[in-house]
Amino acid sequence: MKRLIKFSILAVVVALSVATTFQPNSNKYFEITKNIEIFANLYKELNTYYVDEIEPAQLMRVGIDAMVESLDPYTNYISESQIEGYRFITEGRYNGIGASSETIKDLITITELYEGQPADKAGLKVGDRILAIDGKVTKGKTQEDINNILRGFPGTEVELLIERPGKTVPFSVKLLRDEVEAKNIPYSGKIADHIGYINLSTFTRDAGANVADALRTLQGEDPDLKGVVLDLRGNGGGLLNEAVNIANVFIPKNELVVTTRGKVKEWDRSFKTLNVPVDTEIPLVILINNRSASASEIVSGVIQDYDRGVIIGQLSYGKGLVQNTRDIGYNAKVKLTTAKYYIPSGRCIQAVEYDNGEPIDIPESERTPFKTRNGRKVLDGGGVKPDLVIDRDGSSNVLKQLDKGHIIFDFVTNYCASKTQVDPVETLRFTDFDVFINYVAGRNFDYDTDTEKLITQLETKAKEEGFSLGVSLETVKQQIKSTKEQELTLFKDAIVDMIEKEIAGRYFYKKGSVQVGLRNDLEVQEAIKLLNDPARYQSMLKS
């Protein structure tokens, strides 16, 4: 009870301090003060008189999450227990075991190991299921709960009970937590004669310096290097200053990279390049896709705005918002959107509408046109559109559903269970496609297409209004079913590529997965062709 009284007093004090801080708009801040007091009173009444016992921290968490969720997908509350996860997002490091995991079939499953880190040293494998941690069963726990338990002080011990496909009896593994650091450049090297490649997975600390070092290394190994590919596909962003640093690798000192503008005008800032670039002349291709977001969109957008390189791939995610973290006491933080960012042409690539936290495509006719330095037309809102759009398989629903249902992940787990080693990355090939087809059949894999969803809606509506559409719709359903059965074979090359990358990741970590993926990568092949055709490359950058 004393805690609740203290909370109420604290809430009123905070409200009063807010009101006195923002005198100019007294009516608005009176509303803030009033509603904070109402919130504190409601919280107290629920905890005191609700029929069942309430966990106060959990109740408050639900209220806070609902509050920030109503704003945008990127404003979040970060509790004290989530600080290690926040460190990993911003710095690429945290204290823990060095493994990523997901909940698959209600079990916490290891999905990636970081080379040389505690989980890897202890002999854990991708696909292992964690049944218990320090004797506490994991089933029913959230991913956040598991991460909170696994992450802790370096040198402390944690015991895992592991279920491994191919083994009949679970076994225990003890390992010591350590400071884990994930590389933001899992792979760089040459992908063709005199063509370099740099894969950047996240904009964590030193990303700019690492990209600069990778480019210098490529140039040192090949003085005749005539082009470089920077791969930002699947890169969800990170630190804004690292986006500036990476742009600075390729554009001159003192060039504008990004401007941020928000409600608090004193916080508006312009970020320019501060250093001498590594190379402002080498032909550059940047690869992006629909999961390239935030800092990835700053870099690709800036390179496009200055006509410094060619962008290849698919329309990017569309996150043109800036987040800052504010300390709110008791080692907790709030990550809140404070501004929108604008790249040199003046455009903001922020998507304006969301559906379940995902941006909705905005028709080009509704997007405002801007000009690059050379006078090429570019559009704001809804992401960065590549100069050369390539999407071989991205529109395939079957590939999305295979990924979403963890079908390929589970297949590779079973396929690799009896293999202590596989061929080296250079010669690794998956030739057992029939085995995969039989596995999928055994899983009773099925999914609803958008057309099937519309048919279901139509049937429901027709029934409500007394229409009979049974025979004609049944014919359409059978045609769709037949087409779906053929889709696995139709997309065989793409599926084999996904399987090979998953296998390589099991034995050669993220680096191996990237290397294998380069072999059959249509966007990479197109980038190589473009960099080998200087006239075409230059023509794409002209007005």
Each residue's pLDDT tens digit, 138-187: 888 877 778 777 877 788 899 999 999 988 899 999 999 888 877 899 99
| Tokens representing residue 136 in the block | 């506490």
Helix residue ranges, H only, 22-96: 26-49, 56-69, 83-91
Identify the pLDDT of residue 172.
95
387 classed as catalytic: no
- Which of these is catalytic: 201, 294, 296, 300? 294
**Which residue of the set 125, 141, 319, 335 is catalytic?**
319
Beta 227-231 vs 195-199: how paired, if at all? parallel
* Confidence check: pLDDT of 94 > 80: no
Inform me whether the pLDDT recorded for 21 exceeds 70: no
Pick the more confident residue, 268 or 18. Answer: 268
Give the whole-number percent of the chain exceeding pLDDT 90.
48
pLDDT value at 22 more than 80: no
Q: How far apart are CA 203 and CA 532, in angstroms?
A: 29
- pLDDT computed for residue 18 by the predictor: 46
Taking residues 366-381, what's their average pLDDT? 93
Which segment of 260-264, 274-278, 327-331, 345-349 scores lowest on mean pLDDT? Answer: 327-331
pLDDT at 213 over 70: yes
CA distance 152 to 178: 8
Residue 161: φ, ψ to 5° = -100, 120
Q: What domains can you pick out in the chain, each with its CATH number?
A: 2-80 (no CATH), 93-181 (2.30.42.10), 187-389 (3.90.226.10), 397-447+491-522 (no CATH)
pLDDT at 11: 46
User: Is residue 294 annotated as a catalytic residue, yes or no?
Assistant: yes
Q: What is the mean pLDDT of the chain?
A: 85
Of the candidates 231, 305, 307, 497, the residue annotated as catalytic is 305
**In this structure, what token pair is assigned to residue 16?**
């009063």
Contacts of 243 (CB under 8 A, 6+ apart): 203, 237, 257, 258, 295, 296, 298, 299
Rounded CA-CA distance 77/65 in Å is 7
Length reported for the chain: 543
Which has more confidence, 429 or 2? Answer: 429
Give catalytic status of residue 319 as yes or no: yes
